[in-house]
Chains A and B, each alone.
Chain A
Amino acid sequence: MKKTTVGTVAVVAAVITAGAVAGRRGRSQDRWHTITIFCEPERLGSLPPPLGELGEPVEVNIRPAPGDRGTELSARLTNPVPAGAAKVAARMRDGDPVGRLRRALREARSLAEVGEVLLPDSPPTTRPTPTGAPLRYVTRHAREEGRL
């Protein structure tokens, strides 16, 4: 039990330290972001739209998904991406490149499966209120966040 506790503390400390270092530097290597698209791999080409329009170099991996589930599309930004406080700041000024990559992956799936990206209703029936501001921010970025 004692050994486990010490190990846990060590791991937590390492994570915190790594986060702090990354935060100080403000940049870290992006991880792979993966989405499964219900189509044959050949249909996606080598750089499915709109991944080519990100304005950032991106590495892409395309492979068949198991069990006839379609194709797994993975992508990561090759330049270091904002981390820690820099990531929060980038999000606040709508400039998070990882968020743009997530959006592009979701849109790539919609384009391949449906042929277009579903748009929200417009004009809206809602009106802005101070208490609604956080939800407005969330919905404005709702394809850029999440667990992708």
Chain B
Amino acid sequence: MKALCWQGVNKLTVEQVPDPQIRNSGDAIVKVHRTVTCGSDLHLLGGYIPFMRTGDVLGHEFVGEVMEVGPGVRRTAVGDRVVVSSFVSCGKCWYCRNELYSLCDNGNTNPAITETLWGAAPGGCYGYSHAMGGFAGSHAEYIRVPFADVGAFPVPDGVSDERALFASDSAATGWMGADLGGVKAGDVVAVWGAGAVGQMAARAAALLGAERVICIDRYDNRLAMVQTHAGAETINYEHTDVGSELLERSGGRGPDVCIEAVGMEAHTSGPQHAYDMVKQRLRLETDRPAAVREAIYHCRKGGSVFVLGVFAGLVDKFPLGAVMNKGLTLRGAQMHGQRYIPMLLERMARGELVTEHLATHTMSLDRAPEGYHLFKNKLDGCVRAVFIP
């Protein structure tokens, strides 16, 4: 079959690779209808997460049709149109039973890598390096889906592939940030990053009753989207002082909940960006945490900061003093998709959650390297590039 393969740092090619096979009784083979780029893929592409092998298939956010199931599959059937959670979770361990699906004890075939890095291993993730299980990704004609009864969800008839696609990861991640960040009625919520995940977090905050939602980015096309589709206010940090503006819009208190949806390759204006770039290049820090620093600094006393952006290792100049002295609650997670996807699909069916606008560029899988080029460099207004195998 055809697949988009990682060939080295910033090298992608479309190749012929072996078809996936059923390996466990709970597996399904899914024919991919649509699969989409994610900002976190750029960390793999750029070599910031050094656990990729030549030929690894990228992609973890997809929708498709079930073609084959293993003998232990009960709920999922051949012919089902499904959206699949990007995390591989068994549904049986203590973490899954407590709806912390991305922390699954049985979903990562290579637990030693992340145990050594982080002290304990999260579950597996499609197309997200051998640290996360080494599962082949969705930028392919077919994909193996382990624990299909747990991670594959039928798409309601009224929801298009174009819309359902983003329930796989972006919408679930964004919703989790607002939910576990503790957004409630009357809150002022600030979201750093107006990519797909940031937009979904902003929309989730609005649906959960936030009084004001303010999204911060530097790309006007993205900020316009979040105004139109999430009902959020915006701040372009290249033209406006973020701190002053947030204080003014929150009665001088600061936002109640701050959601960081940027990750380890954060950009910021001013000398901080140059500082982080130099330290990252010299391997004195692995990740650039500018948006996390800002979220912590600007959050109100006793407020909540949720880190949605993907981080891999160590950061410098972390404002621990602000966390402690302001009594903040700091939390983060990979997404617990299985917890949110059914609810998100219902909201999509009712038209409360729209996502089609995120797919600014749709193209065949053959053009996926070009799609990543547009996406990585944010050319031609690209928010997400969607591939059709």
Residues of A at under 8 Å CB distance from B? Answer: 36, 38, 69-70, 106, 109-110, 113-116, 118-127, 129, 132, 135-136, 138-139, 141-148
Contact = CB atoms under 8 A, between A and B. Distances in A.
Interface in B46-74: 51, 53-57, 72
Interface string B90-129: 1011100100000001110111110110011100100000
B113 to A, nearest CB: 6
Q: What is the predominant secondary structure among interface residues of chain B facing chain A?
A: loop
A125 B92 contact: no
Given A109-B106, A113-B92, 9 more contacts: A38-B105, A106-B111, A120-B135, A121-B144, A135-B53, A135-B130, A138-B112, A141-B112, A145-B116
A125 B55 contact: yes
Contacts of B156: none
Interface in B251-298: none
Interface of B: 3, 5, 15, 17-18, 20-21, 23-26, 51, 53-57, 72, 88, 90, 92-94, 97, 105-107, 109-113, 115-116, 119-121, 124, 130, 133-136, 144, 146-147
A76 to B, nearest CB: 19
A122 B119 contact: no
Contacts of A70: 94
Given A109-B105, A109-B106, A113-B93, A124 B121 contact: no
A109 B94 CA distance: 11
13 contacts: A113-B92, A116-B25, A118-B90, A119-B23, A125-B17, A132-B53, A139-B130, A141-B112, A144-B112, A146-B115, A146-B116, A147-B116, A148-B115
A40 B387 CA distance: 46
Contact of B53 (A115, A136, A147): A136
A132 B52 CA distance: 8
B24 A116 contact: yes
Pick from A123, A136, A141, A142 the residue with the most CB of B within 10 Å: A142
Contacts of B116: 145-147
A121 B20 contact: yes
Contact of B111 (A113, A136, A142): A142
Contact of A38 (B17, B26, B94, B107): B94
B135 A126 contact: no
Contacts, number: 119
B145 to A, nearest CB: 11
Contacts of B90: 110, 113-114, 118
B62 to A, nearest CB: 15
A145 B97 CA distance: 26
Contact of A126 (B25, B55, B92, B93): B55
The 3 closest A-B pairs by CB, nearest first: A146-B115, A146-B112, A142-B110
A123 B22 CA distance: 10
A124 B109 CA distance: 14
A60 to B, nearest CB: 19
A143 B110 CA distance: 6
A132 to B, nearest CB: 5
Given A114-B106, A147-B120, A121 B134 contact: yes
A31 B214 CA distance: 53
Given A125-B136, A147-B115, A119 B5 contact: no
A70, A121, A145 — most chain B CB neighbours (10 Å) = A121
Contacts of A116: 24-26, 72
Contacts of B92: 38, 113-114
Contact of A125 (B56, B105, B106): B56
Contacts of B133: 120
Given A114-B106, A147-B116, A121 B135 contact: yes
